[in-house]
């Protein structure tokens, strides 16, 4: 797959938005291509292919620089 590598960060809901400890599944998964980000459940992330993730980023991702 072409493009920049995807950055995957597993996050906790409590405390909200903190990174999950190493090796933990987390409650929320943030996927970013460096310009946009989407938030998925761990199950949604596990079931998605890289192509599907990139499509979702393009279609519904939020830019990091928008207010």
Ordered DSSP codes for 25-53: --SEEEEE-SSEEEEE-HHHHHH--HHHH
CA dist 53 and 63 (Å) reads 15
pLDDT given at position 67? 43
Render pLDDT for 8-36 as a digit per residue (tens, 0 to 9). 999 999 998 899 999 999 999 999 999 99
Strand pairing category for 16-19 and 7-13: antiparallel
Contact call for residues 8 and 59 (beta carbons, < 8 A): no
pTM of the model: 0.82
């Amino acid at each position: 797959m072409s493009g920049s590598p995807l950055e995957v960060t597993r996050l906790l809901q409590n405390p909200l938005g903190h990174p999950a400890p190493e090796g933990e599944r987390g409650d929320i998964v943030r996927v970013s291509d460096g310009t946009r980000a989407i938030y998925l459940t761990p199950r949604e992330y596990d079931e998605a292919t890289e192509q599907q993730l990139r499509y979702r980023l393009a279609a519904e991702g939020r830019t990091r620089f928008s207010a």
